[in-house]
């Protein structure tokens, strides 16, 4: 698996009800969605999706909002694995 460099600072948000973690480095043009609690991890283990964004996150609330939005719009049956 090809590893990529993530921007710093990097923020994570874990949604226990979906068992996913969103990771978003600043000023990365994408955030990544991972299966399980991956807070603090920088590898691409359990990667589910990579989502393009137009602006970097401002605070933890932005990251949490993106995580909830992704979870609402992606049903479990579409998640790999």
Q: Where are the domains of the chain?
A: 10-70
Question: Which pLDDT belongs to residue 1?
Answer: 46
For the segment 53-65, the average pLDDT, to the nearest whole number, is 93
Tokens of 64: 């949490």
| Confidence check: pLDDT of 79 > 70 | no
Question: Which pLDDT belongs to residue 19?
Answer: 97
pTM for the predicted model, two decimal places: 0.85
Nearest to 2, CA basis, from 50, 68, 60: 50
Write down the residue that tokens 């999706």 correspond to: 49
């Amino acid at each position: 698996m090809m590893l990529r460099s993530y921007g710093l600072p990097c923020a994570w948000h874990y949604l226990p009800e979906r068992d996913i973690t969103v990771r978003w480095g600043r000023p990365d043009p994408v955030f990544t969605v991972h299966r399980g609690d991956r807070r603090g991890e920088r590898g691409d283990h359990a990667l589910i999706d990579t989502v393009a964004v137009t602006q970097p996150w401002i605070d933890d609330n932005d990251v949490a909002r993106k995580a909830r939005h992704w979870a609402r719009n992606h049903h479990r049956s579409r998640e790999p694995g």
